[in-house]
Chain A
Amino acid sequence: MLSGRRWLTADRSLRLLTTTAAVSILLMLAALVVVLTVAAMPSIRAFGWSFLVSSDWRPNERTIERPVRTADGKLRIEDGEVVKEVVKVLPPSFGALPVIYGTAVSAVLSLLVAVPLSLGAALFLVRIAPRRLIAPVSFLIEFLAAIPSIAYGIWGLFVMTPFLQTHVEPLLVRLGNHVPGLRWLVQTSISEDGQTVVRMLAPTGRDMLAGGLILGIMILPIITAISRDVLKAVPRAQIEGALALGATWWQSCREMLRYSRSGLFGAVMLGLARAAGETMAVTMVIGNANQIAASPLAPAQTMASLLANEFAEVTSDLHRAALSEVALVLLVMSLLFNVIARWLVVGKRARTAAAH
Chain B
Amino acid sequence: MNAALYSTYARTKSRIMFGLCVAFTVLILGILGLVTAYLLYLGLETLSLRFFTELPTGDPNAPGGMKHAVVGTAILVALASVVGVPGGIMAGIYLSEYSANSMLGAPVRFVSDVLTGVPSIVVGLLGYELLVVPLGHFNGYAGALALAFIMVPIVARTTEEMLRLVPNSYREASIALGATKARTILRVVLPAATGSVVTGIMLAVARIAGETAPLLFTALGSRLLTFDPKHPFPSLTKQIFDYATGPYEGQKRLAWAGILVLVGLIFVLNLAVRYFSSRSARMAGR
Tell me whether B122 and A143 are in contact (CB under 8 A).
no
User: Would B244 and A120 count as touching, CB distance under 8 A?
Assistant: no
Identify the interface centre among B23, B108, B121: most chain A CB within 10 Å of its CB. B121
Chain B residues, Cβ within 8 Å of A124? 21-22, 24-25
B66 at the interface (CB under 8 A from A): no
Do residues A18 and B31 form an inter-chain contact, with CB atoms below 8 A?
no
Contact residues, A324-356 vs B (CB, 8 A): 324, 327, 330-331, 334-335, 337-339, 342
Q: Which segment of B46-54, B57-65, B191-199, B209-217 sits at the interface?
A: B209-217
- Residue on B nearest A156 in the bound complex, by CB: B35
Give chain B's interface secondary structure class: helix
Which residue on chain B has the smallest CB distance to residue A152? B35
**CB-based contact B121/A19 at 8 Å:** no
Quick check: which of A69-77, A170-178, A180-188, A277-285 contacts chain B, the rest being far away? A277-285
Residue numbers in A under 8 Å from B259 (CB-CB): 150-151, 154
List which B30-77 residues lie within 8 A (CB) of chain A: 31-32, 34-35, 38-39, 42
Closest CB in chain B relative to A126 CB, distance in Å: 10
Contacts known (A25-B91, A157-B244, A248-B10); A151 close to B262, Cβ less than 8 A: yes
| A67 interface hit (Cβ, 8 Å) | no
Contacts A23-B104, A279-B121: A150 and B21 contacting too (C-beta < 8 A)? Answer: no
Which of A14, A129, A277 makes the CB contact (< 8 A) with B185? A14
Chain B interface, number of residues (Cβ within 8 angstroms):
92
Q: Is the CB of B126 within 8 A of A155?
A: no
Is A324 touching B108 in the complex (CB atoms < 8 A)?
no
> Which residue of B has the minimal Cβ distance to A120?
B24
Nearest B-chain residue to A305, judged by Cβ: B121
User: Which A residues are in CB contact (< 8 Å) with B252?
Assistant: 158
Contacting pair A22 B32 (CB below 8 A): no
Answer whether residue B250 sits at the interface, using C-beta atoms and an 8 A cutoff: no
Question: Is there contact, CB below 8 Å, between A9 and B180?
Answer: yes
Q: For A14, what are the chain B residues with a Cβ–Cβ distance below 8 Å?
A: 93, 181-182, 185-186
A29 in contact with B120 (CB, 8 Å): no
CB-contacts of B204-254 with A (<8 A): 206-207, 209-213, 216-217, 220, 237, 240-241, 244-245, 252
Stretch at the interface among A54-62, A190-198, A233-241, A249-257: A249-257
Question: Which residues of chain A come closer than 8 Å to B220, judged between CB atoms?
Answer: 312
**Which residue of the partner chain, among A224, A327, A339, contacts B28 with CB atoms under 8 Å?**
A224
In the bound assembly, the distance between CA atoms of A31 and B123 in angstroms comes to 10
Does B153 count as interface, using CB distance less than 8 angstroms? yes
Contacts of A19 in B (CB 8 A): 94, 98, 104
Whole-angstrom distance between the Cβ of A258 and the nearest chain B Cβ: 14
The reply to whether B125 and A10 form a contact with Cβ atoms under 8 Å apart is no
> Which residues of chain A (1-50) have a CB below 8 Å from chain B?
3, 9-11, 13-15, 17-26, 28-29, 31-32, 35-36, 38-39
Contact B186–A144 (Cβ < 8 Å)? no
**A318 interfacial contact with B, CB 8 Å:** no
Q: Which residues A280-319 have CB closer than 8 A to chain B? A: 280, 284, 304, 307-308, 311-312
User: Contact residues of B with A, CB < 8 Å?
Assistant: 10-11, 13-14, 16-18, 20-25, 27-29, 31-32, 34-35, 38-39, 42, 86-88, 90-91, 93-95, 97-99, 104, 107-108, 110-115, 117-126, 128-130, 138, 149, 152-153, 156, 180-183, 185-186, 206-207, 209-213, 216-217, 220, 237, 240-241, 244-245, 252, 255-256, 259, 262-263, 266-267, 270, 274
5 residue pairs A–B, Cβ–Cβ below 8 Å: A9-B180, A28-B115, A151-B259, A311-B125, A335-B117
Known: A25-B115, A224-B28. 11 other contacts (CB 8 A): A13-B182, A20-B90, A23-B104, A29-B114, A32-B118, A32-B126, A148-B266, A149-B210, A151-B35, A154-B259, A335-B118
